[in-house]
Amino acid sequence: MAQPTSVIHDIGYQRYTGPRLGRAYANRSLYEQSLRTAFGIGRGAKAKIFPWLVIGIALSVAVIEIAVRSLTGESFISYRGFANTISFPVMLFLAIVAPELVSRDLRDRTLPLYFSRPLGRTDYALTKYAALSTVVLLLLAVPQLLIYIGAVFTRTDGFSGAMKELGDMGPGLAGAVIRSLILAAIALLVASLSGRRAFAAAFIVGVFVITAPMVGILNVIGGQDSALSSLAFIVNPMTLLIGVEQWLFGTLDNDPMPIGDYGPAYGVATLLLLAGCLSLLLLRYRKVAA
């Protein structure tokens, strides 16, 4: 009896012969996909509710400022003060968006799929950071640009007024860039520690909320006009950023923080915080299982 022989069937598989788009394309695609995720684009209505609610709040503040200024000729909020006004919604925005960007990938164990491409671990972490920084920058900068456009149309001094308004807006936009870099680094690092989005969101809020009373405690311990009370605001990320803006651009009339001559310390602390968060973020993704 003859033994059956093996048969190779041609089922139509072919090698890919198209262009190899490479690492840059993978990074760009991940960046674009992360932006879409942050705004809930391409997802269900539930994913859009909170991000666009916060965006609506930010734009509403800008519209109110334009209306007040057109009616009274006075401004109730400065460009630099805008970020402080919406700091709480921004904190909640970070708590929702950052886990969406990274915690879901940890929970669903999709990182091996990313890392099997030309995309490396460092690429993944930095691209997610770039996307979150961009989202926060848009949230803080676009309303300021809207306020600027409204202010220009309400001024009666023509081009010179527009340039003066631009000079007033410059520190506000610079502060928005600084805030976006720092806040995104903090939120993304904390979110990368947990695959559960609810836990990651709670941890992010906790970083900002728990450190706020510590500022008050250090102020009480240090007493009025002491070095400790001037440096106490470094403990909380939000007050740290206000201190940096005071150092770089001067004190506003309604600034409640007496940082004294310790502005350079706030600048150094901000750089160390940014470098530390990014270093720990990269280390986290070097160690994560894939």
Helix, strand, coil percent values for the chain (each to nearest 5): 75, 0, 25
In this predicted structure, what is the pLDDT of residue 140?
Answer: 95
Predicted TM-score (pTM) of this structure:
0.88
Residue pLDDT, tens place only, 141-171: 999 999 999 888 887 787 788 888 898 899 9
Q: Are 69 and 151 in contact (CB under 8 A)?
A: yes
Lowest mean pLDDT: which of 3-7, 244-248, 262-266?
3-7
Residue pLDDT, tens place only, 177-216: 999 999 999 999 999 998 888 999 999 999 999 988 888 8
* pLDDT greater at residue 177 or residue 251: 177
Residue pLDDT, tens place only, 90-122: 999 999 999 999 988 888 888 888 887 788 889
Locate the domains of the chain by residue range.
22-287
Q: CA torsion angle for 84, 90, 95, 99 (degrees, to 10)? A: -130
Closest CA to 262 of 219, 233, 221: 233
